[in-house]
Amino acid sequence: MDITQLRYFLKTAETLNYTRAAEALFITRQSLRQAISCMERELGAPLFHKERNHLSLTESGTYLALTGARIIRDFDDMWTNTLRLASCQAALKVAFSESLVPFLLPDLEDVLQRFRTRFPHIPLEVCKWDMDRVLDAAEAGEIDCGCVLQMPRPQPGCEVRVLKRFPTALDFGEDFPLYDRPRKPLKLEELDGLPCVGMGSPQRFMAPLWEDCLRKGIHLDYRVIPNTIDAFYQVQNSLAAGFDILDDGNLGARPIRSALLPGYSLELTLLCPEGRPDRGSAELFCAFLDGELACRYEVLDPDSPLPFPT
């Protein structure tokens, strides 16, 4: 079966009349009947019941009609995007949350240069914004792709691709109130009244945790600090605790301790607005970035329990 035969079948399934289907397809009734017969021979079963002059779908025909329509839509989208990609299209506009550099994506410029080298015909426009601005631009369809680190949340009008998933932790310095507590996972109640920093507005950066705190009456003295270096300074000097991925590789002259927040995860996520015309280039960029990061971090199964620190 080829894509043309599938189109013929779907039009016949829609009209349940060979003559009307053939007229809609601009082919002869005989050509249509031959195409359907060829499909039925290949399948080894009929696709239509014929009683007098009335057609109805068999069980196999009903299944093919349901699934075939989706295949046709995907095929047409693929071909349209390939045609756009083959032409000299406008620049592919991607935006990264500035908080991802320098720790999570320290070699971002090298990664982008490798993309430009591999796909020289795709102009690439790169922006580094605060997390909220990247989310705003993605949800408004102003960029082709946005990359952020956040807890899982709905993304209106965006196709979401999760590159990596990390346990969520709270980092704090040696003079912070939590530093001398037993080294075990934190309870939400322990965050009440604590000065904390994060890279985006709490209702977006850490939506599930924030909603749980509001529901339980837990107050966070929360400040948004998009710049990672500034946030790291606050944490290292015990001015605030920082929401971060669970990582033992903390840098700096003064010690920092991480405590796991069980039940919460942070995801390195690509957001592609569904209404942007240049989906082909965006798909290539997402697949390329996914491949670049494949071996960089351990991937956690979304359904597996998050590890606890020893």
Q: What is the CATH number of the domain that holds 18?
A: 1.10.10.10
pLDDT bracket for residue 305 (50, 70, 90):
very low
Q: Which amino acid is residue 29, in one-letter code?
A: R
When the pLDDT of each residue in the chain is averaged and rounded to a whole number, the result is 86
Asked, for residue 307, whether it belongs to a domain, the answer is: no
Instruction: Please tell me the predicted confidence (pLDDT) of residue 301.
Output: 42
Q: Are residues 52 and 96 in the same domain?
A: no
Q: Are residues 207 and 156 in the same domain?
A: no
Instruction: Please tell me the predicted confidence (pLDDT) of residue 51.
Output: 83
Name every residue whose Cβ is closer than 8 Å to that of residue 59 and which is 6 or more positions away in sequence. none
Instruction: Please tell me the predicted confidence (pLDDT) of residue 307.
Output: 42
Asked, for residue 303, whether it belongs to a domain, the answer is: no
| CA-to-CA separations, 99 to 37, 129, 290, in angstroms, rounded | 60, 9, 19
Q: Are residues 148 and 286 in the same domain?
A: yes
Which one of 68, 86, 104 terminates a domain? 86
| CA-to-CA separations, 141 to 84, 130, 279, 296, in angstroms, rounded | 18, 17, 12, 29
Q: Is the pLDDT of residue 156 over 80?
A: yes
Among 3-17, 75-89, 252-266, which range has the highest average pLDDT?
Answer: 3-17
Q: Are residues 276 and 156 in the same domain?
A: yes
Give the count of beta carbons closer than 10 Å to the beta carbon of residue 204: 19
- Phi and psi of 169, rounded to 5°? -135, 165
Instruction: Please tell me the predicted confidence (pLDDT) of residue 102.
Output: 79
Asked, for residue 300, whether it belongs to a domain, the answer is: no
Q: How far is CA 56 from the centre of its chain?
A: 41
- Residue 198 sits in a domain of what CATH number? 3.40.190.10
pLDDT digits (tens, 9 = 90+) for 237-249: 999 999 998 764 4
Percentage of residues in the chain having pLDDT higher than 90: 51
Q: Are residues 156 and 277 in the same domain?
A: yes
Asked, for residue 299, whether it belongs to a domain, the answer is: no
Lowest mean pLDDT among 80-84, 159-163, 250-254, 275-279: 250-254
3-class SS string, the chain: CCHHHHHHHHHHHHHCCHHHHHHHHCCCHHHHHHHHHHHHHHHCCCCEEEECCEEEECHHHHHHHHHHHHHHHHHHHHHHHHHHHHCCCCCEEEEEEHHHCCCCCCCHHHHHHHHHHHCCCCCEEEEEECHHHHHHHHHCCCCCEEEEEECCCCCCCEEEEEEEEEEEEEEEECCCCCCCCCCCCCCHHHHCCCEEEECCCHHHHCHHHHHHHHHHCCCCEEEECCCHHHHHHHHHCCCCEEEEECCCCCCCCCCEEEEEEEEEEEEEEEEEECCCCCHHHHHHHHHHHHHHHCCCCCCCCCCCCCCCCC
Asked, for residue 310, whether it belongs to a domain, the answer is: no
Asked, for residue 306, whether it belongs to a domain, the answer is: no
State the total domains in the chain. 3
Q: Which amino acid is residue 215, in one-letter code?
A: R
Q: Are residues 249 and 277 in the same domain?
A: no
Q: Are residues 96 and 69 in the same domain?
A: no
Which one of 86, 116, 137 terminates a domain? 86
Instruction: Please tell me the predicted confidence (pLDDT) of residue 218.
Output: 96
Beta bridge partners of 148: 269
Tokens of residue 277, six digits: 């015309």
pLDDT bracket for residue 235 (50, 70, 90):
very high
Q: Is 215 exposed, middle or buried (CB count within 10 Å of its CB: 0-12, 13-18, 19+)?
A: exposed
Q: Are residues 198 and 263 in the same domain?
A: yes
Q: Are residues 178 and 201 in the same domain?
A: yes
pLDDT digits (tens, 9 = 90+) for 77-114: 777 667 666 655 668 899 999 989 878 888 899 999 99
Distance CA 279, CA 79 (A): 11
CA angle 260, 262, 264 (to 5 degrees): 100
pLDDT digits (tens, 9 = 90+) for 171-216: 999 999 999 998 899 999 999 999 999 999 999 999 999 999 999 9
Q: Are residues 141 and 66 in the same domain?
A: no
Which one of 33, 60, 86 terminates a domain? 86
Q: Are residues 40 and 61 in the same domain?
A: yes
Asked, for residue 243, whether it belongs to a domain, the answer is: yes
Residue with tokens 């280039």: 281
pTM beyond 0.75: the answer is: no
Tell me the residue range of the domain where 287 lies.
92-160+272-293
Q: Are residues 263 and 171 in the same domain?
A: yes
pLDDT digits (tens, 9 = 90+) for 123-137: 899 999 999 999 999
Beta bridge partners of 242: 171, 197
Instruction: Please tell me the predicted confidence (pLDDT) of residue 117.
Output: 87
Asked, for residue 177, whether it belongs to a domain, the answer is: yes
CB 286 within 8 A of CB 145: yes
pLDDT bracket for residue 251 (50, 70, 90):
low
